[in-house]
Structure 1
Amino acid sequence: MKDRKTPPQDSRTCTVIIVSYYTGPVLLDCLQAALEQEGLDGVVLVDNGNDETMRKKVDKVTVSDRRLRVLRGHGNVGFARGCNMGVATAEADYILILNPDCVMRPGSMRRAIEVLTQHPAAAALTLKIENSDGSEQRGGRRNLISPWSCLVELFRLDKVMPNNPHAQRINLHETPPFDTVTAVQCISGAFMMMPRTVYTALGGMDEDYFLHFEDVDLCLRIQKSGYQILYVPDVTVMHMKGTSRTLPLFVEWHKSMSAITYFNKHFCSGRSCFLLAPISISILLRFLLLAVPLTVVWLWSCIMRACSRADSDHSGS
């Protein structure tokens, strides 16, 4: 297991990287909470696309707090490339990949920096990620995704072999909570802190992923490099999913393509590629089954928003 050099105790700082695409009002809460963190060097907002009203509000924040920098004008380049663009401008000891709909509690950054400094064998860390109701969010701590783990999920082999350590489910949020800092196989890109030098040495996020699975891919490469990944249960961050106005079908398509890319990159060699064919087919079938209901729900929500605006305009007149 590798150890890395840690910076002196009093010089530890972190740059927050936030990639945003039509996130909604929660983006301002995310920025404000990040700017209030102890140990902050700066915040880099990679604007992959936001409406004019939000851009103006963000620009006001940059005027009042010069630690916030905004990168925009590049279009929607995806999450992985957006993260890499942000990290390329950072100079702090640590970088924090933070989703734009995540709101940090006071002291979150300082605690995360302390843990990474105390564990030189660790190359990445996350906190306990909660839903808005305070429950632990799915995906915050998990096992690595592999063809075998997918079979465990599909056939619920964890129930057939409950005492087999190799027959565990991917997501661990329904398992007993950890009491102390614990090494895990995989964490979420919603909150992922890393030493900047390690992130750079690993090549950052793989830009072959447009959306989803880039965090899983990075965790796999971290483990292959001999480093640990840590989960810190005593500090929480709230992740408010569902705030983006992105078309759900767009998200599911890229999630499906990224899953296939991930399996082909890491589990396809020689004859094993033929074994991945059923997995790829099942991923595409899942997308097709979701396509119709997702499109119907999205169209219905658009109609309801249009009706709501029409009622407001009528009342105003």
Structure 2
Amino acid sequence: MTLDCAIPGMSGSDKSDIGVWIVVLNWKNGPDTLECLESIISSNDPCVAGVVVCDNASGDGSDVLIRNWFSNSGFCFSEAKWSDGEFLSVGAGNCEATDSSIEFALVHTGANLGFAGGNNVGIRYVQHSKAFDYLFLLNNDALLAPGAVSGMVGRFAEGEQTGMCGCTVIYHHTPSQVQAYGGASFAPWLGRAVHIGAHLPVSAPRDAAGVEARLDYILGAALMISRPCLEQIGLMEESYFLYFEEVDWATRAARAGFSFGYAPDAVVYHKEGGTIGSSSKKGARSLLSEHYLVRSRLRFTQKFYPWHLPGVIVFTIVQGARAVVGGDVSRFLVRMRAMFGLPFKA
């Protein structure tokens, strides 16, 4: 496939060689996934080579909904199932000639593998069968604005050591407000992250260099990674199931010598936490989401910053005590169970 991916600063011979594959993970949220796909098509970005949608064994008919959307829209698509470490073709798909230069694939992961596990299946699929320069993980509850993919690719072109790149993520429900400039700063002594630019007005000036100086990881809702970075650090860590996967990935990238980029004019609108209630607002997070947040925070700290583990435990206990003071005893109990490695119980 030849793409007309015109990036400033690249020579003419390089422009047509750029290929970005987008990985979208679905779990029990077919309508949002279709809206995400519509936004990718509407963006008409020449750098997008393909999109792979991974269904994490939703069991609610999401896969049928997505398959029908591909068929009814007339796009060329293939369908496969991940089973015992290999991809098995499912049916013939549909590859009639269309005006779209984008390839599509629907991949059944076979189980609810979590955020990292589900996305890793999509990454493996692209690595196994497609040519690509960059992979873009895009949440299924996110909408792509025109020029976002090209803008992020352009940022990679500015620095050879850039391994991951983020964009301006805006709250879908309040489009005048920023969720994050690319990603977050992370305090390992607390195991706590703060989104850069959170809640600033969209009209506020964006200092890309200033943001990059503070970036410790890229927001997983819209994360682009270069092929050299991916090949050196490998796939995302799947043991977390939810939360801290992108922090783990970024920490490994930074320790391997890669830097993080921010494309300020590349925009994604994020509905945030549409699948299991994983909102950044404390009171809005589901108890299940709370369980995984505490569990993953402790696992990450033990892996990368074991000397900070006592402080992180104290911080977790203090957060639990605040929940009790606020009258949310259930949240306190969920946090304590997670801290002691006990299974989730509402």
TM category, shorter: 0.7 to 0.9
Q: For the Cα contact (< 8 Å) 1:149–1:170, is it kept in 2?
A: no
Q: Counterpart of 1:173?
A: 197
**Counterpart residue identity of residue 194, structure 1:** I
Q: Counterpart of 1:78?
A: 114
Matches within 5 A, 1:14-25: 14-25=20-31
Q: Distance in 1 between matches of 2:301 and 2:191?
A: 12
TM-score computed with the length of structure 1 as normaliser: 0.75
Structure with bigger strand share is 2
**Counterpart residue identity of residue 102, structure 1:** A
Q: Distance in 2 between matches of 1:127 and 1:276?
A: 29
Matches within 5 A, 1:198-277: 198-244=229-275, 248-269=286-307, 273-277=309-313
Q: Percent identity?
A: 21
Q: Distance in 1 between matches of 2:260 and 2:205?
A: 17
Instruction: Give yes or no for the alignment of 1:44 onto 2:76.
Output: no
Instruction: Give yes or no for the alignment of 1:57 onto 2:65.
Output: yes
Q: Counterpart of 1:123?
A: 163
Q: Distance in 1 between matches of 2:66 and 2:148?
A: 23
SS at match of 2:166: strand
**Counterpart residue identity of residue 22, structure 1:** K
Mark the CA change 1:179 to 1:278 in structure 2 (over 3 Å): closer, same or farther.
closer
Q: Distance in 1 between matches of 2:254 and 2:297?
A: 19
Q: Distance in 1 between matches of 2:14 and 2:120?
A: 26
RMSD over aligned Cα atoms: 3.0
SS at match of 2:187: coil
Q: For the Cα contact (< 8 Å) 2:190–2:312, is it kept in 1?
A: no
Structure 1 position 13, deviation (Å): 0.6
Residue by residue, what CA displacement relative to the aligned partner does 1:269-307 show, whole Å, maximum 9, x if unpaired? Answer: 5xx554544245446667887573799xxxxxxxxxxxx
Q: Counterpart of 2:216?
A: 185
Q: For the Cα contact (< 8 Å) 2:28–2:60, is it kept in 1?
A: no
Instruction: Give yes or no for the alignment of 1:104 onto 2:161.
Output: no
Q: How many residues align?
A: 270
Q: For the Cα contact (< 8 Å) 1:22–1:245, is it kept in 2?
A: no
Structure 1 position 201, deviation (Å): 1.8
Q: Counterpart of 2:15?
A: 9
Structure with bigger helix share is 1
Instruction: Give yes or no for the alignment of 1:29 onto 2:31.
Output: no
Q: Distance in 2 between matches of 1:104 and 1:173?
A: 19
**Counterpart residue identity of residue 38, structure 1:** P
**Counterpart residue identity of residue 236, structure 1:** V
**Counterpart residue identity of residue 112, structure 2:** N
**Counterpart residue identity of residue 41, structure 1:** A
Structure 1 position 80, deviation (Å): 0.7
Q: Distance in 2 between matches of 1:179 and 1:51?
A: 44
Residue by residue, what CA displacement relative to the aligned partner does 1:77-116 show, whole Å, maximum 9, x if unpaired? Answer: 1111111111111131100011110100112111211221
Q: For the Cα contact (< 8 Å) 1:24–1:244, is it kept in 2?
A: no
SS at match of 2:252: helix
Q: Counterpart of 1:136?
A: 178
Residue by residue, what CA displacement relative to the aligned partner does 1:223-265 show, whole Å, maximum 9, x if unpaired? Answer: 1112110111112110012432569222221111111111111
Q: For the Cα contact (< 8 Å) 1:80–1:214, is it kept in 2?
A: yes
Q: For the Cα contact (< 8 Å) 1:205–1:215, is it kept in 2?
A: yes
Q: Distance in 1 between matches of 2:262 and 2:217?
A: 9
**Counterpart residue identity of residue 120, structure 2:** N
Residue by residue, what CA displacement relative to the aligned partner does 1:37-86 show, whole Å, maximum 9, x if unpaired? Answer: 32112111111143544322210233322222112151111111111111
